Chain A
Amino acid sequence: MKHSFIDQYSDLNSFIHRLDPRTKLLACPAFILLVVLTPAGNWKLFIFYLCVIAILILVSRLPLLYVLKRSLIIFPFVLMVAVFIPFFKQGQAVWSYAIGVWHISVTYEGLLVLANVLIKSWLSMLSLILLSSSTRMADLLEGMKQLGTPKIFILIISFMYRYLFILADQVIRMSQARDSRNFGGSRSHQFRTLGNMIGTLFIRSYERGERVYAAMLARGYNGEMPVMKKLNFKSPDAYFSLVMAVLLICPAILWWQP
């Protein structure tokens, strides 16, 4: 079974794809930091940031619909946290309603905070999607390693990425086998089956871990992951960094008004 649902479009060839992963790894958090720090209600700046990220996405040739769909993932989480803010924030009421002794009111300030949270998280999400879909996982990890991420984290992420697919395959095969035997019956029976499946999956993964470790030992693994340098900055990286820096810093200075 084949799937690559994490870095599906990372094999495309575009200016953004060809950049050194380190450039992207630095530009993405810089963008997010600036977006998060922007004072609430500064719509001019937010629109500008949206234009920047939109242009980058267009340049990267990622399918727009795919990016939009992915970016929507963030909203349920943000809404769950932020949806009550308009009701609790003190300020000028936009709308109010009385249920018995309770007065429910939505304030203008509260709505502003909510909109602010939504737009900031959406912009951040867009930039993360751009990063993860324009960089192959192997390159991303190599970049992280060279930017000083502890090796053990790199190791854990790379194993996770490598075996996630196999785990997913196993889940699919197990559910197919289950469904082929006319899975059904009472709710409690179904839950018990599900529990057994999760347990089996855990044991299989654990044993696979042991076998992988044996295979590593057999090739001389001694607790230290060998390093190889394969990345190098090229001139497009310098241009990109410069343009991004100017694009992000100048408007921020011009339009920054708390």
Chain B
Amino acid sequence: MTPDIAIQIHKLSYNYPDGQRGLKNVDLSVHRGESVAIIGPNGAGKSTLLLHLNGILRSSADIEVCGLKMEDRNLREIRKKVGMVFQDPEDQLFSLSVYDDVAFGPLNMGYAEKEVSGRVAVALGKVGMNGFEKRSSHHLSIGEKKRVAIATVLSLDPELLVLDEPTGSLDPRGKGSLISLLEALPVTRIIASHDLDLVGRLCSRTVLIDCGSIAADGETGAILGNEALLAAHGLARN
């Protein structure tokens, strides 16, 4: 495996506990520095695929993340390298204050207190949320929640940023500012979304998933330009 490969997945299949098909024979490799969109209709398996990237869901397939095999003893290291931002910020922000949430990851990694508060300040600065440390996340707007949710993983200095529907339920302005925020973050990105605007602006490569397997994988322009393909998978704009 070459060092510039961030993610290598070989023949990943996954069925939900209730027997429903989740993923079937998914092969995917992502290079460092690449920005990959995973698009597909609702229920295609996008979120399920993402949850495999840091071992929340496990299966017998070979998965390598940042040069580490997906094994129990590597989980901690992998979760440090993979910053996963969940779809609903209410799930991600479970602490009583913004500070506690952003500090949660670094504290789990056992960093000293000074280092932790430094990391929190830097992470909140990157998403433009300095000064919100003491606020309770319940009283933030949805756009602010999304930003804080991103900060909670940036505080771990991830090598890979994984975002599930980052622009879901945001208004156009909130969406615009979130996209420029993500553009400015220099990490490898994997973004699951069916927001084709966002995909077009942020990602050079697009992977289309439907019914648990990869239907297309290529340059974003080519895939988003292929109306017939999008229509066949329920993604056409009109």
Contact = CB atoms under 8 A, between A and B. Distances in A.
Interface string B147-165: 0000011001000000000
A220 B96 contact: no
Interface string B53-76: 010100000000000000000001
Interface stretch (B29-37, B105-113, B183-191, B207-215): B105-113
Contacts of B113: 228-229
Contacts of A138: 96-97, 100, 136
B139 interface: yes
Interface in A190-215: 208, 211-212, 214-215
A98 interface: no
Interface stretch (A71-79, A108-116, A157-165, A246-254): A157-165
Decide if the interface of chain B is mainly helix, strand, loop or mixed.
helix
B86 A215 contact: yes
A141 interface: yes
A139 to B, nearest CB: 9
Interface in A1-31: 2, 4
Contacts of A161: 96
A219 interface: yes
B116 A228 contact: yes
Decide if the interface of chain A is mainly helix, strand, loop or mixed.
helix
Contact of A4 (B84, B105, B107, B139): B139
B105 A220 contact: yes
Interface string A224-243: 00111100000000000000
Nearest to A161: B96
B119 interface: no
B104 interface: yes
Interface stretch (B87-95, B174-182, B192-200, B229-237): B87-95
B138 interface: yes
Contacts of B80: 220
Given A212-B91, A228-B113, A219 B156 contact: yes
A101 B153 CA distance: 77
Contacts of B156: 219-220
B205 interface: no
Size bracket of the B interface: 20 to 34
A218 B56 contact: yes
Contacts of A2: 138-139
Contacts of A208: 90-91
Interface in A150-176: 158-159, 161-163, 165-166
Nearest to B155: A219
A208 B121 CA distance: 29
Contacts of B94: 159, 162-163, 212, 215-216
Contacts of B54: 218
B146 interface: no
A217 B56 contact: yes
Interface of B: 51, 54, 56, 76, 79-80, 82, 84, 86, 88, 90-92, 94-97, 100, 103-105, 107-109, 113, 116, 136, 138-139, 152-153, 156
Given A161-B96, A218-B56, 14 more contacts: A141-B96, A158-B96, A159-B94, A162-B95, A208-B90, A214-B91, A215-B84, A215-B94, A217-B56, A219-B105, A221-B108, A226-B104, A226-B108, A228-B116
24 contacts: A2-B138, A4-B138, A141-B96, A161-B96, A162-B94, A162-B96, A214-B51, A214-B91, A215-B91, A215-B92, A216-B94, A217-B56, A218-B84, A218-B86, A219-B104, A219-B156, A220-B76, A220-B105, A221-B104, A222-B76, A226-B107, A228-B100, A228-B103, A228-B116
